Structure 1
């Protein structure tokens, strides 16, 4: 009998660093600028990427040092995943937190890091860099991503 995959057998807090990192599907959505309505708390998504997001790989160009370059970059932890409201509904961290299974296109399931892009879930080729947009214009870049809660 096969053992359960780690994401079904462990909580987020029980995972090793390597397991934790592998839960990231590489969609790049968490690296997009989001706007929050101060009155309602509603999150509006943009297609404006962090200056460190590689628009093709959907990975950080300097992951190890990202918080030195982008001080407000949020390094996800099990505690933060419990409280952050803007993680996409397709996010591996969110799915495990909710007791749901990973999607077929998640690299841990498919065995291929490109399936997240092939499934159209990632932001590949769909973003502009925050370095190219004035903050006053962020509202002009609102988008709906596939699978997003509306």
Structure 2
């Protein structure tokens, strides 16, 4: 008998608090401010991050008190995961809800919280704090990368290239299409 990891054997509502919290990969994408078109319901991401998001670690700087500090912070629960359309396609909660496996770079799979950043999935280095932007200017910060980050997510060679680039000081210089082109593969 093989021991399967908990996210393959349990539904979200069956997980312990520790298991639930560990499903967060630390990408920080859910902490980006979003704009909603009131007529269509369409949600657009901005690169404006919650004032509590640490831009380097992509974790909340006051997680325990976040809802007291930021009342509009939406707390994910097993019941709400399936209802929130703007969760990124790579979100661990969303993947488990949809009976899909976690990506290779998820800390539960890789054993390393840095792989989410090395794979280019996280918001690290891509955001500005809401404390620095007037809410009227959020439209100037519209981005689509939070919805496309998973397109590069399935090739672990990308993380190795980024890790090597990090040592050279140019970690963002390598993209999956560039890596595939080097290998003679059309992306």
TM-score by length of 1: 0.96
Query: Which residue is 1:96 aligned to?
Result: 96
SS in 2 for 1:45: strand
SS in 1 for 2:58: coil
For residues 86-131 of structure 1, what are the alpha-carbon distances to aligned partners after superposition, in whole Å with 9 as ceiling and x for unaligned?
1000000000000111001000000000000000000001100001
Alignment length, in residue pairs? 149
Query: Which residue is 1:136 aligned to?
Result: 136
* Whole-Å separation in 1 of the counterparts to 2:141 and 2:81: 26
Query: Which residue is 2:167 aligned to?
Result: none
TM-score by length of 2: 0.77
Alignment of 1:17-28 (within 5 A): 17-28=17-28
* Whole-Å separation in 1 of the counterparts to 2:147 and 2:73: 24
For residues 13-70 of structure 1, what are the alpha-carbon distances to aligned partners after superposition, in whole Å with 9 as ceiling and x for unaligned?
0000000000000000000001111111111110000000000000000000011110
* Whole-Å separation in 1 of the counterparts to 2:147 and 2:108: 19
Higher RCO (CA < 8 A, seq sep 6+)? 1
Query: Which residue is 1:107 aligned to?
Result: 107
Q: 1:146: how far off?
A: 5.4
Q: 1:147: how far off?
A: 4.8
Q: 1:139: how far off?
A: 0.4
* Whole-Å separation in 1 of the counterparts to 2:107 and 2:42: 30
Is 2:88–2:146's contact at 8 Å kept on the other side of the alignment?
no
Question: Gapped runs of 5+ residues in structure 1?
Answer: none
Alignment of 1:17-56 (within 5 A): 17-56=17-56
Is 2:82–2:97's contact at 8 Å kept on the other side of the alignment?
yes
* Whole-Å separation in 1 of the counterparts to 2:51 and 2:83: 25
Q: 1:2: how far off?
A: 2.1
Q: 1:135 to 1:146 in 2, by over 3 A?
A: closer
